[in-house]
Structure 1
């Protein structure tokens, strides 16, 4: 697994969680490599308890835990055991990353559909008190802003940027339909945040990007991070979970996922990863008949 990250790992410091330990020792500490922003350690205490210490780089623990509470009856999520300034302790969930078991992508699709069954009155970021703050991630204004960014233009070129804008103009009606949805979105629903055990989803992790919006954001993320041969399994799972998919469901997912590709090109991710994003932008142009 690549260590390509947005933020460096934070060191483990047992004194930070002394109040949680209450005299117990830490038998083992293992850095969990999945995740690109926050730092996660699997801890095994001397009393046998296995748990995860999550060190936040910029996320809000209270907000993340609130979002997880919205889906606890629908999909398995970790229980928070304790919290302090900049950290949380969660129960450790057993399972294999979907990244290593893509043959179970149908189970992931079904979990995604269950998450999307939670509805809100309006789209936006979900706050810790349950209120919604509007934002334009992935919207037309956001895309235009990204396509004028010097880093994005350096990677994809002006000609590709113009092709994307032309496609967005042609797809304005479909994008408008997507933009008004207000369902629960995980926001980072990829194969390194989904645990599989016994062929079923045993845990969905890292909810710091949870929001109200279109489920096509999660669908696009899942398709991007699973082998194409497994995309039919994703579709099967989405339908099994109760999602009514139109014939153009993949195109809708690609339209929404475009914003992620462009945003990554302005990030601190590696050049190797950004080249993958450029390839995805070019495939997007080809899919929608751009030049």
Structure 2
């Protein structure tokens, strides 16, 4: 799962004195005990900061302060059942945006996948489905990308026509640089054949996490303990988040999928009969967009290429 993907944003190193100053900007009584760089995130740089006689916190660092401002504002709108860490403080240091976020205990879902039984996978799927249903309780007036005040600043909705034109636009851009011609042709054929399925998508203009996968969910046993890293949130189809969650194949995936569907259903979210195909189609947009850049690391290209092949040949 994004194994050895190259970072496009370099790690931002914070001196210890800077961390102390940042933490004290939120709580003057805080005494920093230890600072550890966290692995995983490819967008922001995240540090765990342990404090004397206080709970640890996460310090998130980015050049894109607006993404943190949007994330902070979004946390105020999340329904109570969504298990998101509290966004405690927003500040800046040396031109970087800084967010201080509550530390949540748990194991990455990614690490649970490889060691869980069919029953455990189903129960995890159910908890994830329940969280996804809670996320979908946040409505918007239209579909698209959000500004810092959580208004749609650029409309974008997947319909049969926009699905085709969006994929076309990627291969008129940098995405064509990273894939062989034969594969691009087969992608476009697959898109043309299956685009009509978006006529079935009636999930509405509601909150999408935007990076809903095993790297951003913490688990305690088979229950979700936290949904992390909301910087890519948008208003759109539920199939973006489902597709992202089902992007990689693991043992007992059928049980996991059944659990997700059950968790959604019991909370009033009913998927179309073709929900898995719609999820793969929506995620194909995300995968192609990840290649649409002038510089793309070898490991990233190889993994995305294999994922795209898995979609169009077996999806």
| Aligned with 1:262 (options 285, 288, 294) | 288
Q: Is residue 194 of structure 1 aligned with residue 217 of structure 2?
A: yes
Q: Distance in 2 between matches of 1:11 and 1:273?
A: 23
Residues 187, 145 of structure 1: alpha-carbon distance in 2 compared, 3 angstrom cutoff: same
2:247 maps to 224
Q: Distance in 2 between matches of 1:207 and 1:223?
A: 18
Q: Distance in 1 between matches of 2:216 and 2:227?
A: 6
Which stretches in structure 2 are left out of the alignment for 5+ residues?
A: 114-120
| Aligned with 1:118 (options 138, 143, 152) | 138
TM-score (norm 1): 0.89
Q: How big is the alpha-carbon RMSD for the aligned residues of Structure 1 and Structure 2?
A: 2.4
SS of structure 1 residue aligned to 2:183: helix
Which stretches in structure 1 are left out of the alignment for 5+ residues?
A: none
Q: Distance in 2 between matches of 1:25 and 1:3?
A: 35
Residues 146-185 of structure 1: pairs in structure 2 closer than 5 A: 146-149=170-173, 151-178=174-201, 181-185=204-208
Q: Distance in 2 between matches of 1:84 and 1:191?
A: 28
1:78 maps to 85
Count of equivalent residues: 287
**Deviations along 1:131-150, whole A, 9 cap, x unmatched?**
2223448743321111223x
Q: Distance in 1 between matches of 2:203 and 2:271?
A: 17
Residues 221, 61 of structure 1: alpha-carbon distance in 2 compared, 3 angstrom cutoff: same
1:145 maps to 169
TM-score (norm 2): 0.82
Instruction: Point out the more displaced range, 177-186 or 79-88.
Output: 177-186
Q: Distance in 2 between matches of 1:245 and 1:179?
A: 9
Runs of 4+ that moved beyond 4 A: none
Q: Is residue 34 of structure 1 aligned with residue 36 of structure 2?
A: no
1:227 Cα deviation from its structure 2 partner? 1.6
1:208 Cα deviation from its structure 2 partner? 0.6
Q: Distance in 2 between matches of 1:66 and 1:21?
A: 20
2:101 maps to 90
SS of structure 2 residue aligned to 1:169: helix
